[in-house]
Amino acid sequence: MNKIRRNALSDILGKIEDLRAMLEDIRDEEQDCMDNIPENLQGTERYEQMEDAVYNMEDAIGNLEDVCSTLEEIVMA
């Protein structure tokens, strides 16, 4: 791979890492909101939606980490 394409992949990697960090911040905020919901409201539909959102964001973060690892392997090769 030439230097131009390697640099382009490095730029993409940086952007994905930034997006992952942003997603982690949003996930953390949602988790904090969930943690502050009174016990008597924890079985509600809204709470379950929040739980699903946190779970799905965690899944997305894991996927982005996998993409970053793959791109790092390509750039370092």
| DSSP letters for 34-72 | HHTS-GGGTTSHHHHHHHHHHHHHHHHHHHHHHHHHHHH
User: Whole-model pTM?
Assistant: 0.89
Note the pLDDT of residue 77. Answer: 86
Q: pLDDT of 6-56, one tens digit each?
A: 999 999 999 999 999 999 999 999 999 999 999 999 989 999 999 999 999
Q: Coil, strand or helix: which one is 15?
A: helix
Note the pLDDT of residue 1. Answer: 87
Note the pLDDT of residue 59. Answer: 98
Count of all residues that appear for the chain in the document: 77
Q: Coil, strand or helix: which one is 36?
A: coil
Residue-range domain boundaries for the chain: 3-76
Note the pLDDT of residue 61. Answer: 98
